[in-house]
Amino acid sequence: MKTIPDFESDEETAVWFDSHDTAVYMDDMEEVSPPTIVRTRFPTKPIDVRLRTDYFEAIQKAAEQRQIPYQMLVQRWLIEKLRQEAPDLAIPL
């Protein structure tokens, strides 16, 4: 049975894995669970905005074309406009 060698650095490890077929080493590899993804949460505040029905429907269609929720599209558009109108506020991405 072949075993994976010990490596001195991450770079050495990457070079080795890039140049070897790892199928023959499967029995030697430890199974790991997927990493936990931690999203950074920024404080948010819900707002209530009244729109004409046809405007709202147009926003929904535009979001659907981009395959994103309409709320995300509205937020992107608002941030884009805020950056144009008030660039000194330095709104982070």
What are 12-43's pLDDT values in tens digits? 888 888 888 888 877 777 777 776 666 667 78
pLDDT above 90 (res 83): no
pLDDT value of position 40: 67
Say how far residue 79 (Cα) sits from the centre of its chain. Answer: 18
pLDDT value of position 29: 75
Helix and strand totals (H; E) in the chain: 3, 0
Residues 57-79 have pLDDT tens digits of 999 999 999 999 999 999 999 98
- Put simply, whether the predicted model's pTM sits higher than 0.75 gets the answer no
Which amino acid, one-letter code, is at 19?
A: S
